[in-house]
Amino acid sequence: MAIVEALESTDDRRRLQVRSPASLEPIGDFTCATATEVQVAVAKARRAQQAWAARPIGERADLLWSLVDQFVKRQDDIVDSVLAETGKARSEAIGMEVFSPCDAISYYAKNGPKILATQKRKLHGVMRLSKTLRIVYQPLGVVGLITPWNGPIVLAATPLAQALIAGNAVVHKPSEVTPLSALVLKSLTEDAGFPDDLYQVVQGDGATGAALLEAGVDKVSFTGSVATGRKVAEVCARQLLPFTLELGGKDAMIVCADADLDRAAEGAVLGSCMNTGHYCCGTERIYVVESIYDEFVERVVARVKALRQGDRDEFDVGAVFWDRQLSIIESHMEDAVQKGARVLAGGRRNPDLKGLFFEPTVVTEVDHDMDVMTKETFGPIVSIKKVADEEEAIRMANESEYGLNGTVWTSDTERGIEIASRIHTGGVCVNDMTITYGIPEAPFGGRKSSGFGQVNGPEGLRGYCHAQPIIADRRGKGKIQGGYPYTRKNEDGMQKFIRMLFGTRVGRWMS
């Protein structure tokens, strides 16, 4: 049964119905915005943005704090809507969709004004005698925000807070799988007192997303799959639009011989199964050195078998959010088993539950000729491979078209950091599952097929601005040096000056 289905429509606008992946019952429907409606939203956003950008950044920060207040006050509304749409575990809805956005929005409310304050930058050499430089962070205008279904609130609220504090307006196209959570986020911004039209939600599927890219926005912030990311990049490139792409991953975990095995096993299970494995930085392949392999696998299997899955009051692993993802998970498992992988736990759709549930799974004897070790599975699968040593683990971790994040587990933190720096990936965590996106100070973004550009942190925040250099002459009067008329005398003087400045020790010290 499809989670998102077309309904009959009385006019030429498309209507989609959404079901809960846990109960399979319909939970809502919506009308896809037409291309014209998307254009109108962008035009309204542009008008709202001009007044917004003119407000002092302190006032913009105050409104972000009001948004945090709404998150705190309306936690249950957020959790209820996320649970209805995704069937994820309640702890995950609270941690990922309430705590993380609150933390990120607070960070930008508190630090945004400092990060975006006009900077005076000292000039080098002789130029400093006559010029001053200021960098002014100007908003770009209207940001087109396109988000996926695996973190419907956090993946929208985090870029939203950055775009808004920087003085932009946002038109948001949420995933067609999780349209309701976006409406909750919109109502939080309304209750927080944000101006009308500053943040708008346009509902729809890929066609609506494609329309947003063509609707005259000034920047695109996209999170989603590699396949869609490539299309977004092409459309943005044609229009010379700045964009960031946060895409899929196949994160590697390296377990060194000296790792704390209990902690590493816990990290493997949580990293692979959290959010039903629908975590862009989820652990998708684990390389374990030979000497501790058996002990590690035993600990992982025991933990996975103890996981509670379901739609009851308390459970650990929830539903697969979308039937399309379930098909991918099933096909990767089938491919692995057919090529000789061993399933030590789970390995199939849960026969006891009505909804879309795939059992938490442990699979070993896996290799790089299998989809489960090379393509993004995005399911609750712990895939473990034995390697001779850490060197082989690093080599295998780097043997991937993806490079989003990864983890290293060892008792020697410094060595862990050294290994981490040799992994060709966007970020790495040592002795923890990947929490990079949850650390607002850290720039976040993938390498290779996992993305383009970075979000979060000072770098990501400034990405919502144009850094405008303003250079002023200290004197501002009299003749401009080096100006007309050009004379042989001045040219000789200039050449002498070049010899002195760049050709002598004293000159180089001054330059």
Active site residue 5: no
Q: How far is the CB of 218 from ligand NAD (least distance, A)?
A: 16
Q: Using the minimum distance from each CB to ligand NAD, give the nearer residue, 297 or 373.
A: 373
Sheet holding 465-473, edge to edge: 119-121, 131-139, 465-473
Q: Specify the residue for token string 């849960």.
A: 350
Residue number closest to ligand NAD, CB atom: 209
Q: Specify the residue for token string 């939080």.
A: 188
Q: How far is the CB of 96 from ligand NAD (least distance, A)?
A: 11
Active site residue 246: yes
Residue type, 319: A
Q: How far apart (Å, rounded) are the C-alpha atoms in residues 401 and 217?
A: 30
Q: How far is the CB of 404 from ligand NAD (least distance, A)?
A: 6
Active-site choice (102, 256, 273, 280): 280
Structure tokens at 77: 């509304």
Non-local CB neighbours of 314 within 8 Å, separated by 6+ positions? 90, 308
Strand partners, 473: 131
Q: Which spans of this chain sit near ligand NAD (rule: CB under 6 A)? A: 146-151, 155, 173, 175-176, 205-206, 209-210, 213, 223-225, 228, 231-232, 246-249, 280, 376, 378, 404, 446, 451
Active-site choice (85, 97, 176, 246): 246
Q: How far is the CB of 55 from ligand NAD (least distance, A)?
A: 30
Q: How far apart (Å, rounded) are the C-alpha atoms in residues 271 and 254?
A: 12
| DSSP reduced 3-state for 405 | coil
Q: Using the minimum distance from each CB to ligand NAD, give the nearer residue, 155 or 259.
A: 155
Helices (H), 137-260: 154-165, 179-192, 206-213, 226-239
Q: Using the minimum distance from each CB to ligand NAD, give the nearer residue, 84 or 256.
A: 84
Q: Which of 335, 385, 381, 338 is nearest to 362 (CA)?
A: 381
CB 185 within 8 A of CB 74: no
Q: Using the minimum distance from each CB to ligand NAD, give the nearer residue, 92 or 246.
A: 246
Q: What backbone phi and psi angles, to 5 degrees, belong to 166?
A: -75, -5
Q: How far is the CB of 374 from ligand NAD (least distance, A)?
A: 14
Q: How remote is the C-alpha of 29 from its chain's centroid?
A: 27
Residue type, 322: W
Q: How far is the CB of 309 from ligand NAD (least distance, A)?
A: 21
Q: Using the minimum distance from each CB to ligand NAD, give the nearer residue, 173 or 385.
A: 173
Instruction: Give me the active site residues, please.
Output: 246, 280
